[in-house]
Structure 1
Amino acid sequence: MGDDYSNVSIAPCKYEYLDHTADVQLHAWGDSLKEAFEQCGMAMFGYMTELDSVEIEDVHEIEATGDDLEGLLYHFLDELLFLFSCEPNIICKKVEIVTFDVDGAEMKIKCKCYGEEFLIGKHPQGTEVKAITYSAMQIIDDADKHEVYVIIDI
């Protein structure tokens, strides 16, 4: 037989849920979808520091794959964020996609990231980006319009 819990009282509710602004939406565009993706990566780095303070001292390569355009954009930005988050904390002044394959079953990006190690004192500290989200992600790829919208968690 189980214990009798009938005399356990429930405390009155003394909490609530408050709205909290913890994200920012990036909106980027270009003459092609590839350029819109590149610009979105630059927008994220620009949110972390003033890009004018960044010098090109090194190049790093990243790759990202996705089953659809949203997944590809998410993984692309996530790889860029990972580049910044791991030692030696690379901040990029230029993001150049050298392979932009969106026609196959598995979409793929190969990208060269030009920049240097992020150093407090040299680079003004912007806002820390904690994560990329799929929330309200939008990709527009028309004949005359190539835009992306991504919400990042800050």
Structure 2
Amino acid sequence: MMNLLNENLTLAPCKYEYLDHTADVQLHAWGNSLKEAFEQCGIAMFGYMTNLSTVEVQAVHTIEASGHDLESLLFHFLDELLFLFSCDPFLICNKLVISEFNTEGEEFRIECKCYGEEFTLGKHPQGTEVKAITYSAMQIIIEPEQNNYEVFVIIDI
């Protein structure tokens, strides 16, 4: 575990919402960059599992994800975050900082620092379990001329 006192732990503003979807939920996240939209989408997923205001930063983990295009990169990124939560101990994150966001070449790649703590019933309200990430109706909107970057992802609950 790294020294958390040296990290900038200011939480990012909430730039996501939950959209109803038959038997599932759609995450809609946005940002001033595609990287920020990806970070917000990951936070939205964790926010669906618990109230993030109850999460303290007691641990930092780094995850890596890669893909052959933006959709597969987003899928694998969220899948790695879900795996992080599914491990023992379960890690719930309230801040994500993508330190590497490579979307050029043959392999797109993300490296992300995940800030949070072990999920504990009693401390963290139990939200809805996320079973899987899906490609269904996945959208990535990139409109740099309007400073608009959005992602839509359906998660299986």
TM-score of the pair, normalised by structure 2: 0.85
Q: What displacement does 1:128 show?
A: 0.1
Specify the SS of the correspondent of 1:104.
coil
1:153 corresponds to which letter in structure 2? D
Match of 2:156 in 1: 153
1:48 aligns with 2:49: yes
Q: CA deviation at 1:21?
A: 3.8
Q: What's the Cα RMSD here?
A: 1.0
Give how far 1:22 is off: 2.5
Structure 1 residues 46-99: Cα deviation after superposition (integer angstroms, max 9, x where no partner): 000000000000100000000000000000000000000010100001011000
Displacement of 1:137 after TM fit?
0.1
The CA deviation at 1:142 is 1.3
Determine the structure 1 residue equivalent to 2:84.
83
Percent of paired sites with the same residue: 73
Q: Which residue of 1 aligns with 2:11?
A: none
**Higher strand proportion:** 2
Segment drifting more, 123-132 vs 138-147:
138-147
| Distance in structure 1 (CA, Å) of the matches to 2:22 and 2:29 | 21
Structure 2 counterpart SS, 1:76: helix
CA deviation profile, 1:1-60 (whole Å, cap 9, x unmatched): xxxxxxxxxxxxxxxxxxx94210000000000000000000000000000000000100
> Partner letter of residue 131 of structure 2?
K
Distance 1:121 1:21 in 2: 30
Look up the match of 1:137. 138
Give the AA of the match of 2:149. H
Aligned match of 2:59 = 58
User: What is the match of residue 37 of structure 2?
Assistant: 36
Q: Which runs of structure 1 show a deviation greater than 3 angstroms over 4 or more consecutive aligned residues?
A: none
Structure 2: gaps spanning 5 or more residues: 1-20
- Name the CA distance, whole Å, in 1 between partners of 2:42 and 2:153: 10
Cross-structure match for 1:98: 99
Task: Give distance in 2, aligned partners of 1:104 and 1:44.
Answer: 28
Query: Which stretch shifts more, 79-88 or 20-29?
Result: 20-29
User: How many residues of Structure 1 are paired with residues of Structure 2 in the alignment?
Assistant: 135
TM-score between the two structures when normalised by the length of structure 1: 0.86
